[in-house]
Amino acid sequence: MMIEKVYCADVKPKMEGERVRLAGWVYRKREVGKKVFIVLRDSSGIMQTVFTKELSEEAYTKAKQVGIESSVIIEGVVKVDPRAPTGVEIQADKIEIIQNVEFFPITKDASDEFLLDVRHLHLHSPKVADIMKVKGTLMQAAREWLLQDGWYEVFPPILVTGAVEGGSTLFKLKYFDREAYLSQSAQLYLEAAIFGLEKVWSLTPSFRAEKSRTRRHLTEYWHLELEAAWMDLWDIMRVEEELVSYMVQRTLELRKKEIEGFRKDLTTLKNTEPPFPRISYDEAIDILQSKGVKIEWGEDMGADEERVLTEEFDRPFFVYGYPKHIKAFYMKEDPEDPRKVLAADMLAPEGYGEIIGGSQREDDYNKLVQRIIEEGMDPKNYEWYLDLRKYGSVPHSGFGLGLERLVTWVLKLDHIRWATLFPRTPSRIYP
């Protein structure tokens, strides 16, 4: 009778003496004396298997021939052994080679650039798999919280006709007999959806034609965005901190082992509980200047400035009240200071900087038209968006969370490109 396949992680010490069948790939292999050790990996983890002539000469001979990353099915009996990587091993007497790999291109000394060149093979790595597990769990947690809090998921278009974050970073394409663009953000479409659903969210790819070559920029990334009617800036900041806190704490609960493979100190993650600290842009400039950073009021904060600022905090925090001229056209002017907008960014500690950008949206038709003109754009391209301010306009707010930036901070990755399956940067579109 065929033995049902089990995953590596399902094999426990209490199963000693049971016969099991595993399917996966050869992760490590070594020969010691008259034994062949194959460490098998699958999506759940690894398991050491041992082949000897005494158990099966045929299986032993095959095991000696099999190469790293070969796909195999192994059968044997569970035995407890503290020396094994997981405390148990399989005394194997059967191996079926699905495909034998004579030479796997990736070696332990492979450079980062080579790993990116063969990213399709780099995805074999358990380390990469752990990153993707954490990323998926963060989104699982986001969905849980959003469902509990009464938000509706919607599915906005990716092909668009106008800019959200500035025309200079648009990817242009030919759409039949006219021009169109790849979406920079779903925000404008989410704003339209709040008039029927009030609280909406989406997860979509966003595209930015930025030639930035920093450790936190991608030209294509996954964007978790929320928009809500009847919320001001302070309301939406509370939503942000509650959502991010739940995402981080839930992922810590479900993926602690994977996270600890990247960071030993979990303090800042455990500290991610609301309320998060809030400082004004003015206060942020004062802090930076006191630390010797050359920045003046009215200038935008880049990665270097944000890194210095994060040294003051042991958890995510907000910076709010930015100068109007450095922020997007749709942000609402601060009624108490027309030089500023009602905007706030959430920054991650430990030097990682901005992970969320949010604001209260401008709900006044005339002011929004004026801002579009000031930005050098044509109001005709935003007629449908301006209609939202003519037919039942209400105070509303929203934000966008860069999923890869959140993953990069949670796992303390040295570059955002490791946080996505196939990174897209100004210099990389392959594979």
**What is the per-residue pLDDT across 32-81, written as a single tens digit (0 to 9) for each?**
999 999 999 999 999 999 999 999 999 999 999 999 999 999 999 999 99
Indicate the fold that domain 116-418 takes in CATH.
BirA Bifunctional Protein; domain 2 (3.30.930)
Q: Where do the structural domains in the chain lie, given as residue ranges?
A: 13-99, 116-418
Report field, pTM of the whole predicted structure over 0.85: yes
State the SS3 of the chain.
CCCCEECHHHCCHHHCCCEEEEEEEEEEEEEECCEEEEEEEECCEEEEEEEECCCCHHHHHHHHHCCCCCEEEEEEEEEECCCCCCCEEEEEEEEEEEECCCCCCCCCCCCHHHHHHCHHHHCCCHHHHHHHHHHHHHHHHHHHHHHHCCCEECCCCCEECCCCCCHHHCCEEEECCEEEEECCCCHHHHHHHHHHHCEEEEEEEEECCCCCCCCCCCCEEEEEEEEEECCCHHHHHHHHHHHHHHHHHHHHHHHHHHHHCCCCCCHHHHCCCCCCCEEEHHHHHHHHHHCCCCCCCCCCCCHHHHHHHHCCCCCCEEEECCEHHHCCCCECECCCCCCEECEEEEEECCCCEEEEEEEEECCCHHHHHHHHHHCCCCHHHHHHHHHCCCCCCCCEEEEEEEHHHHHHHHCCCCCHHHHCCCCCECCECCC
* pLDDT, average across residues 289-312: 97
pLDDT reading at 340 higher than 70: yes
Q: What pLDDT, on the 0 to 100 scale, is given for residue 1?
A: 57
* pLDDT, average across residues 152-176: 92
Percent of the chain surpassing pLDDT 70: 100
pLDDT digits (tens, 9 = 90+) for 93-129: 999 999 999 999 999 999 999 999 999 999 999 999 9
Cα separation, 309 vs 300, in Å, equals 13
pLDDT reading at 168 higher than 90: no
Q: CATH number of the domain at 13-99, out of 3.40.50.300, 2.40.50.140, 3.40.190.10, 3.90.1310.10?
A: 2.40.50.140
Cα separation, 117 vs 425, in Å, equals 13
pLDDT digits (tens, 9 = 90+) for 186-234: 999 999 999 999 999 999 999 999 988 889 999 999 999 999 999 999 9
Cα separation, 338 vs 357, in Å, equals 20
